[in-house]
């Protein structure tokens, strides 16, 4: 059962069995009386937060910007809002697929496998990312690389913003440059467009047709060698067989010429389909740290400490008042159990209580 405690105008207290309430003025007076506890608690927390943030190393972020390439869908934003857009709707030659490519395991593994040579305070250093992260597990390495990498696409302009954050400015710049280099390598050598697939198909068909044409030409040559008088012979069977072989050679030759022409066109189209990586801003060499935000962390920790201290004072006052009514036996039993289970914490609470009475 809970009590309702109110303060009347003449200062007399009234009690019933409904709830426990306190006048706002009484709460304000309680905070004024406990001002030292609040001040010490907030100050100690902020000092501790400042000490912890000083142990965190500075991080530097290198940034770069890639301009859009290929056809841009003017209705892309509207489709995105309607939930109708998908990767299959994108132009093969569009840079809108670059964020997906950059975040792929193929690019990440290439970035993780490289060694980075940079200068730090006049000393040349060589670092491999597995050594930097202190990991050798591939999955954990990719996760760690993703945590220091930011990739964003502006849907309105198509501009792609990249960022890499490490403890060394030059290392951040080197890793970001490696990302861009691997993107170019992927587009030139690994990305297979529709025109590229068509060129590969035509190349296979052209090789097969060349073999068939060669076989037909050999058959015609062998027949003419056996029948040396084929040009003047009056044998109808020789003329029929000769005509069939000549038609076969002509058909194979026309097919080969057609495939050769289409193959050359497809090769040109496949080269045009390779997306061009157009760099607007090259990877920067950061000068100012990007994190940690020490001032923000200290201020936020002070605010949280203030809220927690005020709440603790109110909770302690509520428990103190509850222990002075009909529920005192139950409160004393809870206090006994608390002191037995948490003796050190009980000593701290007793000291705070003695301090609050002074």
> Where is average pLDDT lowest: 154-158, 185-189, 290-294?
185-189
**Average pLDDT estimate for 278-297:** 91
> Where is average pLDDT lowest: 30-34, 83-87, 134-138, 183-187?
83-87
CATH of 60-191+276-281, one of 1.10.3470, 1.10.8, 3.30.1890, 1.20.1080: 3.30.1890
**Average pLDDT estimate for 274-290:** 86
Higher pLDDT, 84 or 288: 288
Q: Where are the domains of the chain?
A: 4-56+292-357, 60-191+276-281, 194-272
CA angle 33, 34, 39 (to 5 degrees): 130
pTM to 2 decimal places: 0.61
Look at residue 91 in the predicted model and tell me its pLDDT: 52
Torsions phi, psi for 337 (to 5 deg): -65, -40
- Look at the block and give the residue holding tokens 């001032």: 295
Q: Rounded distance, CA 54 to CA 47, Å?
A: 11
pLDDT confidence bin for 92, thresholds 50/70/90: low
Per-residue pLDDT tens over the stretch 26-35:
778 878 888 8
């Amino acid at each position: 059962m809970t009590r309702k405690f109110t303060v009347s105008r003449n200062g007399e207290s009234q009690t019933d069995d409904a709830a426990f309430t306190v006048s706002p003025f009484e709460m304000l007076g309680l905070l004024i009386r406990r001002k030292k506890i609040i001040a010490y608690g907030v100050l100690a927390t902020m000092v501790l937060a400042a000490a912890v943030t000083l142990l965190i190393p500075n991080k530097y972020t290198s940034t770069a910007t890639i301009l859009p390439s290929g056809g841009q869908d003017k209705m892309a934003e509207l489709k995105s809002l309607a939930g109708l857009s998908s990767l299959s709707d994108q132009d093969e030659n569009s840079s809108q697929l670059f964020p997906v490519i950059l975040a792929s395991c193929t690019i990440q593994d290439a970035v993780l496998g490289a060694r980075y040579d940079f200068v730090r305070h006049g000393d040349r250093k060589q670092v491999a990312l597995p050594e930097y992260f202190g990991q050798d597990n591939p999955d954990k390495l990719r996760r760690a690389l993703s945590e220091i990498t930011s990739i964003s696409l502006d849907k309105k302009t198509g501009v792609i913003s990249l960022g890499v954050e490490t403890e060394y400015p030059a290392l951040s710049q080197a890793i970001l440059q490696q990302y861009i280099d691997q993107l170019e390598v992927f587009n030139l050598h690994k990305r297979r467009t529709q025109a590229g697939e068509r060129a590969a198909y035509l190349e296979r068909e052209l090789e097969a047709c060349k073999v068939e044409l060669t076989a037909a030409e050999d058959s015609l040559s062998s027949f003419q060698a056996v029948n040396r008088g084929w040009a003047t012979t009056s044998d109808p069977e020789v003329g029929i067989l000769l005509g069939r072989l000549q038609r076969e050679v002509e058909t194979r030759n026309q097919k080969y010429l057609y495939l050769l022409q289409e193959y050359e066109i497809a090769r040109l189209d496949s080269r045009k389909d390779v997306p061009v990586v157009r760099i607007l801003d090259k990877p920067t060499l950061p000068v100012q740290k990007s994190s940690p935000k020490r001032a923000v962390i200290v201020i936020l920790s002070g605010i949280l400490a203030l809220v927690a201290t005020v709440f603790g004072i109110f909770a302690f006052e509520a428990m103190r008042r509850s222990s002075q009514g009909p529920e005192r036996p139950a409160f004393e039993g809870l206090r006994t159990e608390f002191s037995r289970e948490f003796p050190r914490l009980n000593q701290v609470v007793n000291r705070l209580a003695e301090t609050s009475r002074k």
